[in-house]
Amino acid sequence: MDISGKPTAVGRLQALRARTDAMVADLAALVGVETPSEDLDACAAGAEAVAALAYEVFGEAGEVVEVEGRRHLRWRWPQAPGRPRIALVGHYDTVWPLGTLARWPFTVDEATGRASGPGCFDMKAGIVQLFHAVAALDDRGGLEILLTCDEEVGSRTSRALVEEAARGARAALVLEASADGAVKVGRKGTGMYRLDVDGRAAHAGLEPERGANALTALARVLTALEAVAAPERGTTVTATLAGAGTASNVVPAHAWAELDVRVAEPREATRVDRELRALTTGVEGTRLRISGGPRRPPMPAGAGAALHARLAVLAAELGLGPIAGVSVGGGSDGNFTAAVGCPTLDGLGAVGNGAHAEGEWVSVAAMPERAALLAQLVDDLRG
């Protein structure tokens, strides 16, 4: 304790390290409830599990904010006069379909100190760390926690809640996963598009000339994407999924593809959108339809630079090693908090690797360290 009776930074870290086994058990409980983004029933069960864990760890289950059948979770503590508001943001949905646990259960490898299981790294360990950090605080005044269930699919129903939490806050601290310990000070903006080409079916052997081949037309459109991308400016346009046709002896009457767009500059999102919508197939009898558009604006590195500098000082006080600040291509809800003008530091969650990949893992030893670091940062921001 210091002379004010508050725990010292090192004392807080020691107390949280003593909770490591409990944190691993909490992580096992959350990973054990599968929460694929597109399954509303599964996400509802996940919301119950997250709320129950919050009640167990720091005594409050929070409120359910339901939007279009999706259950987002929120905790708000009154803001004392003159004290800043701080937003703590994360999500409990994952990219893994129901049934993944049957072949890939939660495990802890004692030899490596790694916990593994679907969604453990992105980002259920971040939720566990967040809850234990909040429990370690003497004062929760002015905090708002928002945990959503559609981040992995674009945050369509939760974006307004994320922006509301960030407006007027001193900082938004995002509990996304931290690859090899680095925090995110910048993120690219994202866009998702679907290309649909309509053509005309015909027998591929008897009279192919009577058809209008949608697959051939789509192929020509896809080859034009290279001219839309601008890697030198950080802009990528990537075809990720595609399909066409109904049978091997039928000229395809329909073909489709999905595109992933990443931009480092806001104006690039506008340019890419304009140029994609100007594309044509060049194949007589076919028609191109484009749906989708920009989803997340870029999070410029400046949005998190000052917070990263403060974090580095706090990490040193805790006796932790240097923490890198990086800009990455992946998007998160930190893009939205930064876009409304809120200083944002992302990647404050689990230390590990393998997001969205089989075998994603979390460093068990780093869980209490990151929880302590988050608690210190919250206290530091509140003065």
The string of pLDDT tens digits covering residues 213-236 is 999 999 999 999 999 999 999 999
CB 182 within 8 A of CB 255: no
State the chain's maximal CA–CA distance in angstroms: 91
- What pLDDT does 383 receive? 82
Mark whether 93 is an active-site residue.
yes
Fold equal for 9-187+299-382 and 189-296 = no
Q: Which residues contact 316 (CB under 8 A, 6 or more apart)?
A: none
pLDDT of residue 3: 43
Average pLDDT in the chain:
96
CA distance 268 to 290: 18
pLDDT digits (tens, 9 = 90+) for 15-52: 999 999 999 999 999 999 999 999 999 999 999 999 99
Clarify whether 138 is annotated catalytic: no
Q: What is the pLDDT of residue 82?
A: 80
Q: Tell me how far apart the alpha carbons of residues 9 and 310 are, in angstroms, rounded to a whole number.
A: 14
Q: Which residue of the set 34, 122, 150, 151 is catalytic?
A: 151
Which residues of the chain are modeled with pLDDT < 50? Answer: 1-5
- Tell me which residue of 145, 157, 155 sits closest to 69, measured CA to CA: 157
The pLDDT value given to residue 4: 47
Which sequence spans correspond to the domains of the chain?
9-187+299-382, 189-296
DSSP 8-state class, residue 123: I
CB neighbours of residue 194 within 10 Å:
13
CA 326 from centroid of its chain's CA atoms: 16
If you search the block for the tokens 């990490």, which residue do you land on? 315
Q: If one looks up domain 9-187+299-382 in CATH, what number appears?
A: 3.40.630.10
* List 26, 93, 144, 268, catalytic entry: 93
Q: Does domain 189-296 have CATH number 3.40.50.620?
A: no
Type of residue found at 371:
A
> For position 6, what pLDDT does the model report?
55
For residue 284, which of 219, 212, 220, 204 has the smallest C-alpha distance? 212
